[in-house]
Structure 1
Amino acid sequence: MTDTDTVRPALAGDCHAIILAGGSGTRLWPLSRNLLPKQLLVLDGTTTLLQQTVSRVLEMFPPDHVWVVTNEEHVFEVRKQVSVLDARLETQVLAEPLGRNTLPAIMLGLDRVVEVNPKALAAVFPSDHLIRNGEAWAADLVRASELAADKRFVTFGVKPDKPETGYGYIALGEDLGGNAFAVRGFVEKPDLRTAEGFVREGSHLWNSGMFLFSAKLFLSQVARFEPVLWDWWMRRDETPLVRGYRDIPDISVDYGVVEKIDNITAVRAGFDWDDLGSWEAMYRLGEKDASGNVVKGDVLAMGCSGCLLISEGGKLAVSGLSNMIMVQTRDATLACPMDRVQTVRDVVAALKAEGSSLVESHPTVYRPWGNYTVLEEGPHYKIKRIQVNPGARLSSQMHHHRSEHWVVVDGTAEVEVNNVPVILVENQSVDIPKASQHRLANPGKVPLDIIEIQSGPYLEEDDIVRFDDVYGRVQK
Structure 2
Amino acid sequence: MSPTDPVVPPFAGDCHAIILAGGSGTRLWPLSRNLLPKQLLVLGGTSTLLQQTVARVLEVFPPDHVWVVTNEEHVFEVRKQVAVLDKVLEGQVLAEPLGRNTLPAIMLGLDRVVEANPKALAAVFPSDHLVSDGGAWARDLARATELAAQKRFVTFGVRPDKPETGYGYIALGEDLGENAFAVRGFVEKPDFLTADRFLREGTHLWNSGMFLFSAKHFLTQVARCEPVLWNWWMGRDEAPLVQGYRDIPDISVDYGVVEKIDNIAVVKAGFEWDDLGSWEAMYRLGDKDADGNVVRGDVLAMNCANCLLISEGGKLAVSGLKDTIMVQTRDATLACPKDRVQTVRDVVAALKAQGSQLVESHTTVYRPWGNYTVLEEGPQYKIKRIQVTPGARLSSQMHHHRSEHWVVVDGTAEVEVDNEPRILVENQSVDIPKASQHRLANPGKVPLNIIEIQSGPYLEEDDIVRFDDVYGRVRK
Give the TM bin, normalised by the shorter chain. over 0.9
Distance in 2, matches of 1:45 and 1:171, equals 34
Runs of 4+ in 1 over 3 A off after TM superposition: 6-10
TM-score between the two structures when normalised by the length of structure 1: 0.98
Distance in 1, matches of 2:66 and 2:306, equals 40
Determine whether 1:323 maps to 2:327.
no
Tell me the equivalent position of 1:119. 119
Tell me the equivalent position of 1:43. 43
Deviation at 1:8, TM superposition (A): 3.5
Alignment RMSD: 0.8
Following superposition of structure 1 onto structure 2, how do residues 7-26 of structure 1 map, counting pairs within 5 Å? 8=8, 10-26=10-26
Following superposition of structure 1 onto structure 2, how do residues 386-405 of structure 1 map, counting pairs within 5 Å? 386-405=386-405
Tell me the equivalent position of 1:73. 73
| Letter aligned with residue 302 of structure 2 | M
Tell me the equivalent position of 2:134. 134
Structure 2 portions without partners, runs of 5+:
1-5
Contact between 2:9 and 2:61, CA under 8 Å: does it hold in 1?
no
- Cα deviations across residues 3-50 of structure 1 (Å, max 9, x unaligned)? xxx864652320000000001100000000000000000001100000
| Letter aligned with residue 371 of structure 2 | N
Q: 1:409 to 1:398 in 2, by over 3 A?
A: same
Contact between 2:10 and 2:61, CA under 8 Å: does it hold in 1?
no
Tell me the equivalent position of 1:145. 145
Deviation at 1:357, TM superposition (A): 0.2
Determine whether 1:85 maps to 2:61.
no
Matched residue pairs, number? 471
Distance in 2, matches of 1:313 and 1:68, equals 31
Residue 84 of structure 2 aligns to a residue whose secondary structure is helix
Contact between 1:169 and 1:204, CA under 8 Å: does it hold in 2?
yes
Structure 1 portions without partners, runs of 5+:
1-5
Tell me the equivalent position of 2:3. none
- Cα deviations across residues 260-279 of structure 1 (Å, max 9, x unaligned)? 10000000000000011100
Determine whether 1:200 maps to 2:200.
yes
Q: 1:281 to 1:362 in 2, by over 3 A?
A: same
Tell me the equivalent position of 2:440. 440
Following superposition of structure 1 onto structure 2, how do residues 236-255 of structure 1 map, counting pairs within 5 Å? 236-255=236-255
Tell me the equivalent position of 1:417. 417
Residue 114 of structure 2 aligns to a residue whose secondary structure is helix
Contact between 1:12 and 1:146, CA under 8 Å: does it hold in 2?
no
Deviation at 1:240, TM superposition (A): 1.0
Tell me the equivalent position of 2:294. 294
Contact between 1:396 and 1:468, CA under 8 Å: does it hold in 2?
yes
Distance in 2, matches of 1:196 and 1:347, equals 27
Distance in 1, matches of 2:37 and 2:20, equals 13
| Letter aligned with residue 369 of structure 1 | W
Distance in 2, matches of 1:351 and 1:8, equals 49
Deviation at 1:402, TM superposition (A): 0.5
- Cα deviations across residues 382-439 of structure 1 (Å, max 9, x unaligned)? 0000000001000000001100000000101000000101100010000000000000
Tell me the equivalent position of 1:464. 464
Tell me the equivalent position of 2:475. 475
Distance in 2, matches of 1:157 and 1:61, equals 21
Contact between 1:30 and 1:334, CA under 8 Å: does it hold in 2?
yes
Tell me the equivalent position of 1:3. none
Contact between 2:101 and 2:250, CA under 8 Å: does it hold in 1?
yes
Distance in 2, matches of 1:12 and 1:145, equals 8
Following superposition of structure 1 onto structure 2, how do residues 37-436 of structure 1 map, counting pairs within 5 Å? 37-436=37-436
Distance in 1, matches of 2:247 and 2:303, equals 55
Distance in 1, matches of 2:227 and 2:165, equals 32
Contact between 2:7 and 2:138, CA under 8 Å: does it hold in 1?
no
Contact between 1:102 and 1:252, CA under 8 Å: does it hold in 2?
yes
- Cα deviations across residues 424-473 of structure 1 (Å, max 9, x unaligned)? 00100000000000000000000000000000111010011111100000
Contact between 1:405 and 1:432, CA under 8 Å: does it hold in 2?
yes
- Cα deviations across residues 300-358 of structure 1 (Å, max 9, x unaligned)? 00000010000000000011111000000000000010110111001001100110000
